[in-house]
Amino acid sequence: MAFVVVEEGESLESALKRFKRRVQQEAIIKEIKKHSVYYKPGEKKRMKAAQARKRMRRRIKRDRDFEY
């Protein structure tokens, strides 16, 4: 759970900005979206494999760029 302590003399806008940044860093929104929809086990497996392929492609491309 993300929380922010508002310092004395700090504006509400800056505290809200810090809170939003903290929520984004802790990936709370991402986790909520992930659990808001039910995926069948086979569908989860396909999505996981697709993510792995995507990561591998990125890694290969990055390594290829560093070689030159």
Token pair, residue 39, equals: 């995926």
Assess whether pLDDT exceeds 80 at residue 66: no
User: Does residue 42 share a domain with residue 25?
Assistant: no
User: Does residue 45 share a domain with residue 30?
Assistant: no
Q: Tally the domains of the chain.
A: 2
pLDDT of residue 68: 61
Q: Note the pLDDT tens digit of each residue in 33-50.
A: 888 999 999 999 999 999
| DSSP letter string, 4-67 | -PPPTT--HHHHHHHHHHHHHHTTHHHHHHHHSS---HHHHHHHHHHHHHHHHHHHHHHHHHHH
User: Does residue 52 share a domain with residue 20?
Assistant: no
pLDDT of residue 65: 80
- Average pLDDT in the chain: 91
Q: Domain of 7? A: 1-37
User: Does residue 42 share a domain with residue 15?
Assistant: no
User: Does residue 3 share a domain with residue 31?
Assistant: yes
Q: How far apart are CA 51 and CA 11, in angstroms?
A: 41
User: Does residue 33 share a domain with residue 1?
Assistant: yes
CB atoms within 10 A of CB 4: 16
Q: Which pLDDT band holds residue 12 (cuts at 50, 70, 90)?
A: very high
